[in-house]
Structure formats: structure tokens, C-alpha cells
């Protein structure tokens, strides 16, 4: 899999979506070829910072920001997170990596579909005010980029693989 480079001359919406997709593809690439055991291996002091845990978390945040916040759909995670604030990380440790990656890709497709129907400045109710798609896209570039960096480190510690 080769990541699709964002266009140098695209508009705001096109570039935000393209950079987010670029990072989403990086997440998938960092998982390629790992075994379930490798994906669950704790390699840093935080026991939840595993490849599997990060993919589970990123799947959750895609669901939360696009389906729950922007589309107003019910959260599938409220009860689990009320019982364990790290449920998205922990649950992922019990799921085969291939299934986690498939679920992540499917959730990203849902997110893209929701975003496609909105203008960047479209406001939706959020907390005590409102939020727009632009904020969510920028936040998800930051969130996905940060965790893709974690995955870079975990992959190098697992098998020495670096780069894209």
C-alpha cells in the first residue's frame, strides 16, 4: 500500500480531507505484517500504548467525532467508557489485528461519508455551543498524526521497520 499524497494546490476542504486520509493510511501501513501477539505487545511504560490499543482508540475517535458529534448519532461506547475510561484501548487487546484494521477502515469510510455531506463551516450543537466540520477535521489530523507517530515508534521497537 502506498499512501496518497495530498495535492499541493487543493482547496481547504480537499487538503484537510486528504491529509487526514494520508494519516489514516499510515496507521494501516504500520499494522501491515504484524501478528496479533506483536500488536498487543506493550513496549513502552504505558501498558495501553500498543499497536492494537491505538487502532482501537482511533476507531473510537472516528466514531465519536464524526458519527456522534457531527451526525448526532448515539454513541456505541458510552456505557463501556463509563465503566472504564480506557475501554477502547483495552477491548482492542482481545480482537485480532486484521479485524481491528478492517473496523478502522470501515469507520473511516463512515466518517468520510458524513463529512462529504457537510461544508467546513456547517455548525452543529456541541456541549454548550456549537462546532463545525473544519474543527473536527483539524482535530482528527492532529489526533491521527499523533497516534501515527506512536505507531512509528512501536513498529520500530517491534521489528525495526521504519519509514512509510
Residue-wise pLDDT for 60-78, tens only, equals 999 999 999 999 999 999 9
Give the mean pLDDT of 30-49. Answer: 96
3-state DSSP percent of the chain in helix, strand and coil, to 5: 65, 5, 30
Share of the chain above pLDDT 70, in %: 98
**pLDDT reported for residue 2:** 67
**pLDDT reported for residue 12:** 87
What's the rounded Cα separation, in Å, for the pair 19 and 133?
A: 15
User: What is the C-alpha R_g of the chain?
Assistant: 16
Entry pTM: 0.94
Place of cell 462546532: 131
Amino acid at each position: 500500500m502506498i499512501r496518497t499524497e495530498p495535492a499541493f494546490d487543493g482547496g481547504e476542504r480537499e487538503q484537510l480531507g486528504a491529509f487526514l486520509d494520508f494519516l489514516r493510511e499510515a496507521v494501516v501501513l504500520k499494522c501491515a505484517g504484524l501478528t496479533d501477539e506483536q500488536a498487543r505487545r506493550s513496549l513502552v511504560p504505558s501498558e495501553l500504548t500498543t499497536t492494537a490499543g491505538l487502532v482501537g482508540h482511533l476507531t473510537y475517535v472516528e466514531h465519536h467525532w464524526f458519527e456522534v458529534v457531527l451526525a448526532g448519532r448515539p454513541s456505541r461506547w458510552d456505557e463501556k467508557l463509563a465503566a472504564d475510561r480506557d475501554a477502547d484501548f483495552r477491548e482492542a487487546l482481545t480482537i485480532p489485528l486484521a479485524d481491528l484494521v478492517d473496523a478502522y477502515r470501515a469507520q473511516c469510510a463512515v466518517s468520510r461519508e458524513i463529512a462529504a455531506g457537510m461544508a467546513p463551516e456547517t455548525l452543529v450543537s456541541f456541549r454548550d455551543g456549537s462546532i463545525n466540520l473544519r474543527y473536527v477535521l483539524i482535530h482528527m489530523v492532529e489526533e491521527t498524526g499523533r497516534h501515527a507517530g506512536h505507531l512509528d515508534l512501536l513498529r520500530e521497537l517491534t521489528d525495526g521497520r521504519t519509514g512509510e
